[in-house]
Amino acid sequence: MAKIKVLLEVEAPHAEGFGAFRAALGSETEAYDQADRVLDAVAGLGVEPDENLVPVPMFAAHRAADGTYAPMLELREFASPETNQDMAPTTMVVPVEVDHTRLEELRGRNGVTVWPNSRQYLYEHWELLGEPDPAEAAGSGPFDLARSRAVTDCRPFRPGVALHVIRTLLGVSKVWQDGFRGQNVAVGILDEGVNGTVYPVSGGFARPGARLQPGAAPITSHGSMCAADVLLAAPAARLYDYPFLGDPNSGGALAMFQAVLDQRRIDGTPHLTTNSYGFYRVPSRAQAPGHEIWDIDHPLHRKVREVVASGAAVFFAAGNCGTPCPSLNCDPSSIGPGKSVHGSNSLAEVITVAAVNSRNERIGYSSQGPGMFEVSKPDLAAYSHFFGNFGPDRPGGTAAPFDNGTSAATPVAAGVAALLLSAFPGLTPAELREALLAGLVNTTGRPWDRDYGRGILNAAASYSYMLRK
């Protein structure tokens, strides 16, 4: 009989959630022992632990006025560099396989919740033009070329530009001159892995024996591109590598966010995370009850909110399914306004990033709001289509013509956030969001726009705003 992968959430038999998580990651035997104790609640239904088993603890929460879960207040203490005590989980989530004919029976068990364990996809590289911008080569400055009105850049797209162009547009030099380059800030990259030979990977997490370990990815990886793009604005930032896409589903992402939360419990790092992945299809509610796109209480979304509650800002790519030129990977169900910003990237707690080019033109595949959870998504737009990891004389060579997609724009925004955190340590996610939004360049004249969010990122303006506070 055909087995399907799901996440099973059951009341927790453990007194120490973080200790249990670390023990399970360190020992396959311990992971299966924990799973066996959890699965006692569904004995006789043919449920088997998934081969990529990592039980994940979920912590107590209360229902907010709008019906969503609000993380426990104790998580705020994780912003401290001092190690916090372990916490007892209320439930454990275990990735399992079950015959599809037993799903309804499984859902009928008391104290058991069945969640989808859906495939997650990188917002892939595009095949784009790779020559430098001829106007830039002729000596025109970036501010001479940037537009102050909303325009869409679509296929074949404008050529990419050099790093210094994006840095000039962001205004990072003012912050750098004052001595801040992202030092003492750790940025978590949840992706397929970063090359630690080229980029400063100093932490992260992967299961012993896993195919991907922190810092071990090739320089042509999507995660290496994200690393280069963080360092564009914050060249002194430290990078933590969380290569969950070795196990490319919601259970893998859930485990990596739990690893982020565990590290924050120990020493208050990483200070923020960047995430450039999601879904290319919107299944119907009937086809996929509880799916991450439809159910805001899915464990992955709750874990993301736990990380934000612990004091770490979470950045998510809006996606590449906008009109008029969506990625060819996009299913029609996920293309265009109101359908293309979904899943964790539409949570109110995260900062959702759209993409513009060096002329402040919206790139025509950038996903469009309103978001499927939070209406006012994306939050802001950041720059893409530049020579960062990929391009002539760049570390990744010409495996891709240049860094692109909302995948590149998101770590650019995370790098600006790291820059601000180095100048103003201790900013909460809400305060960091306020600073970023206060400095945006608004090309539409509207408080919020489905294509640009509230405007285009500008590090100098956000820094000046914080100096005046």
Q: Could you tell me if 84 and 231 lie in one domain? A: no
C-alpha distance across the termini of the chain, in Å: 63
The band of 133, judged by pLDDT with boundaries at 50, 70 and 90, is: low
Could you tell me which residues come within 8 angstroms of residue 167 by beta carbon, excluding any fewer than 6 positions away? Answer: 173, 232, 233
Task: Please give the pLDDT value at position 8.
Answer: 94
Amino acid sitting at position 130: G
- pLDDT surpasses 60 at 136: no
Q: Could you tell me if 224 and 96 lie in one domain? A: no
The band of 41, judged by pLDDT with boundaries at 50, 70 and 90, is: confident
pTM listed for this prediction: 0.94
Q: Could you tell me if 249 and 200 lie in one domain? A: yes
Task: Please give the pLDDT value at position 37.
Answer: 85
Locate 204 and state its tokens.
């992260």
- pLDDT surpasses 70 at 127: no
Render the burial of 404-425: b for 16+ CB within 10 Å, e for the rest: bbbbbbbbbbbbbbbbbbbbbe
Task: Give me the mean pLDDT over the 67-91 stretch.
Answer: 86
Task: Give me the mean pLDDT over the 160-189 stretch.
Answer: 96
What is the domain-level CATH number for residue 9? 3.30.70
pLDDT digits 0-9 by tens, 185-243: 999 999 999 999 999 999 998 777 777 789 999 999 999 999 999 999 999 999 999 99
Q: Could you tell me if 127 and 111 lie in one domain? A: no
- pLDDT surpasses 60 at 345: yes
Q: Could you tell me if 363 and 436 lie in one domain? A: yes
Q: Could you tell me if 22 and 147 lie in one domain? A: no
Q: Could you tell me if 362 and 430 lie in one domain? A: yes
Q: Could you tell me if 49 and 134 lie in one domain? A: no
Size (the chain), residues: 469
Q: Could you tell me if 327 and 277 lie in one domain? A: yes
Locate 16 and state its tokens.
């120490």
Task: Tell me the pLDDT of the chain averaged across its residues.
Answer: 90
Q: Could you tell me if 71 and 135 lie in one domain? A: no
Select from 48, 82, 117 the last residue of a domain.
117
| DSSP structure class, residue 371 | -
Per cent of the chain over pLDDT 90 is: 69
Select from 117, 151, 174 the last residue of a domain.
117
Secondary element (H or E) of residue 122: strand 121-122
Task: Please give the pLDDT value at position 402.
Answer: 93
Q: Could you tell me if 315 and 331 lie in one domain? A: yes
Task: Give me the mean pLDDT over the 408-418 stretch.
Answer: 98
Query: Which domain covers residue 11, as residue numbers?
Result: 3-117
Q: Is 91 helix (H, G, I), strand (E, B) or coil?
A: strand
Task: Please give the pLDDT value at position 228.
Answer: 98
Domain count along the chain: 2
Select from 98, 117, 136 the last residue of a domain.
117
Q: Could you tell me if 385 and 288 lie in one domain? A: yes
Task: Please give the pLDDT value at position 125.
Answer: 58
